[in-house]
Amino acid sequence: MMKTLYSKFVVTTLLVMIGSLCIGFLATNTYYHQVIKEKNDAKNVNIAQDIAKYIETAKPDDLDNYFTTLGEIGYQIYVTAGDEGEFYGGKYRDKTLSSNTVDRVLDGEIYHGMRDFPKETFMTGFFANELINTIGVPFTYENKHYALFIRPDIRLLFSEVHTILGGLILVMAVLSLLAMLLFAKALIRPITLLTEATHQLAHEKFDTLLDIDRADEIGQLAVSFNVMTEKLQENDRIRKEFISNVSHDFQSPLLNIQGYVDLLKNPLLTDKERQEYTTIIELETKRLSTLTKQLLLLTSLDQSTRLLKCEPYRLDEQLKETVRKYRWQLEEANVQLSYQLEPVTYDGDAGLLQNVWDNLLTNAIKYNVEGGEIHVHLQESSTSVEVIVEDSGIGMTADQLQKVYDRFYRADASRTKQGTGLGLAIVKQIAELHGGTVQMESVINSGTKVRIVLPKQL
């Protein structure tokens, strides 16, 4: 059976109150035995001696009446001459008293029963209503020796004030307990709402928001939960959009391949048509291969535990090799490329950064114009390395520029250009893994400039 937080709080509160009561009682009991008991004994010895002195000097006519009066005003009295004694005032719970004690008092000793009362852990001697817990003094009346044993009657010492104080403490304890229970209920209610909301999230209901307006830690938790919910909702939207885009980007080339394969089965095709269809199938196959590789790369980059394999290498040589690799595409697209590369040794993951330069250069070629130009710059400062790829291509609008890093986004909405829409997302993620930034400027029909800034020390 699950124990709720509220039941735990109630049980804990009760245990704290009971524990506090026990500790308080033990502390009070110890204080009485160590400090108050001896003082209380001395005070009552003085009272008993005053009574004995009065009897011996004033010689009251009716001693029995005198002791009765003392008993009525708040004392428990036992008087004996060694034989049978008389009790006055409140009754003793335990009337046991050794004859040896009586004899010593009759011989003139003072009996310190309160001072010498046994120290009992769970019994405060002040409240022990026993005959041995008294003060004993001798007195003489009409030439006869007596022993007087006396103690205050605790029941009569509790006045109306003590009753009111006791009632006040009881009411305070009850009201405090009720207040704590109500406070616990109010405190736990938002946690209950939070628990229910997390159950909703577990069932992918990402529109669940908490309506908790508080300024304390629970309020901050509710705000954080709502932010998390919004993030999950956004991630769910992106995930569904990602699946839709992947499905579309896989389906289109697959349908094209299937369609042109069916056409190739026609025995009446001319060699020219057959070559044309074969070329299209080859392009679509390459497109699928590129898409698969980029998806695998993005999956690898998304792993938070992926470690960069950083080592020093010549960045300028890597960029030159990239240019040489795409020379045939430059010639085919009739695009001129120039570069200005300072000799730079950079400590980074050469394999990942190669993907950056590949994507930037192929984009610059793909979205350029006939007879266009591409300029590649590499320069080094004291704190960073900067790579700029600038083209004179078709450019982008401000609205398109804001979306270029979104996965599967293509400024060419009709998707007539060969591409996956993943390239710049990969570029941005690799640059950020190296602690760098990507800045892009573009003007429609004037070209695009991409600036990659990589810090020297990761």
Q: What is the domain-level CATH number for residue 348? A: 3.30.565.10
Average pLDDT over residues 118-128: 63
* For range 68-96, the mean pLDDT: 89
| CA within 13 Å, CB half, 324 | 6
Residue 159 has pLDDT above 80, yes or no: no
Residues 225 and 285 in one domain: yes
d(C-alpha 302, C-alpha 295), whole Å: 10
| Domain shared by 197 and 294, yes or no | yes
Report if residue 178 sits inside a domain: no
Q: Taking the CB of residue 175, how many other CB atoms lie within 10 A of it? A: 10
Q: What are the backbone dihedrals phi and psi of residue 267, each rounded to the nearest 5 degrees, phi first? A: -70, -10
Q: Per mean pLDDT, which range of 25-39, 70-84, 197-211 is the poorest?
A: 197-211
Range of the domain at 98: 5-157
Domain contains 29: yes
The answer to whether residue 281 scores a pLDDT higher than 90 is no
Is it the case that residue 185 has pLDDT exceeding 80? no
Position 277 confidence tier, pLDDT thresholds 50, 70, 90: confident
Q: What is the pLDDT of residue 234?
A: 77
Same domain, 31 and 95: yes
Same domain, 431 and 316: yes
84-93, 97-106, 112-121: segment of lowest average pLDDT: 112-121
In this model, does residue 365 exceed pLDDT 70?
yes
Among 110-119, 352-361, 379-388, 430-439, which stretch is predicted with the lowest mean pLDDT?
A: 110-119
Scored b (16 or more CB within 10 A) or e, 443-455 reads eeeebbbbebbbe
Same domain, 259 and 139: no
403 and 422 share a domain?
A: yes
Q: Listing from the earlier edge strand, what are the strands of the sheet with 135-141? A: 86-89, 75-80, 144-152, 135-141, 111-112
Confirm whether 185 is domain-assigned.
Answer: no
pLDDT at 246 over 80: no
Q: What is the CATH number of the domain that holds 272?
A: 1.10.287.130
Residues 6+ apart with CB under 8 A from 6: 184, 185, 188
Give residue 156's pLDDT band: very low, low, confident or very high (50, 70, 90).
low
Phi, psi angles (nearest 5°) of residue 335:
-120, 135
Give percent of the chain above pLDDT 90: 27
Domain boundary among 276, 306, 336: 306
**Neighbour count for residue 100 (Cβ, 10 Å):** 7
The whole-number pLDDT of residue 5 equals: 67
Residue 318 and residue 302 in one domain: no
Which amino acid, residue 308?
L
Domain stop point among 306, 334, 367: 306
Q: Are 358 and 290 within 8 A, CB to CB? A: no
Got the DSSP string for 377-413? EEEE-SSEEEEEEEE-S----HHHHTTTTSTT--SST
pTM, two decimals, is 0.48
Among 103-112, 143-152, 413-422, the minimum mean pLDDT is found in 413-422
Question: How far apart are the C-alpha atoms of 412 and 414, rounded to whole Å?
Answer: 6
Per mean pLDDT, which of 216-230, 243-257, 267-281 is the most reliable?
267-281
Q: Greater confidence, 187 or 69?
A: 69
φ and ψ at residue 41, rounded to 5 degrees: -60, -50
Identify whether 176 is part of a domain. Answer: no
Same domain, 381 and 421: yes
pLDDT of residue 397: 85
Close Cβ partners of 239 (under 8 Å, ≥ 6 residues apart): none
Q: Measure Cα distances from 78 to 70, 133, 263, 408 in Å.
A: 11, 12, 129, 105
Q: 81, 62 in Cβ contact below 8 A?
A: no
Packing angle of the helix pair 423-433, 350-366 (nearest 10 deg)? 150
- Rounded CA separation 354/366 (Å): 18
Residue 36 is assigned to a structural domain of this protein: yes
Count of the separate structural domains present in the chain: 3
- What is the distance between the alpha carbons of residues 234 and 134, in angstroms, rounded to a whole number? 83
Q: Is there a single domain that holds both residue 254 and residue 328?
A: no
Give 307-322 pLDDT, tens digit per residue. 678 899 999 999 999 9
DSSP β-ladder status, 447-455 and 144-152: unpaired
CA-nearest of 64, 70, 65 to 44 is 70
In terms of domains, do 319 and 392 share one?
Answer: yes
* Percent of the chain whose pLDDT exceeds 70: 87
Same domain, 318 and 444: yes
Q: Can you tell me the mean pLDDT for 329-344? A: 91
The pLDDT score that the predictor gives to residue 415 is 39
Q: What's the confidence (pLDDT) of residue 2?
A: 46
**Do 450 and 333 share a structural domain?**
yes
Residue 284, Ramachandran bin (φ over 0: left; ψ between -120 and 50: alpha; else beta): alpha
Where a domain ends, among 134, 157, 180? 157
Q: What is the pLDDT of residue 413?
A: 47
Instruction: Give a yes or no: residue 363 inside a domain.
Output: yes
- Residue 422 domain-assigned? yes
Lowest mean pLDDT among 67-76, 174-183, 317-326: 174-183
Residue 187 lies in a domain: no
> CA-to-CA distance for 444 and 439, rounded, in angstroms?
17
d(CA 111, CA 134): 8
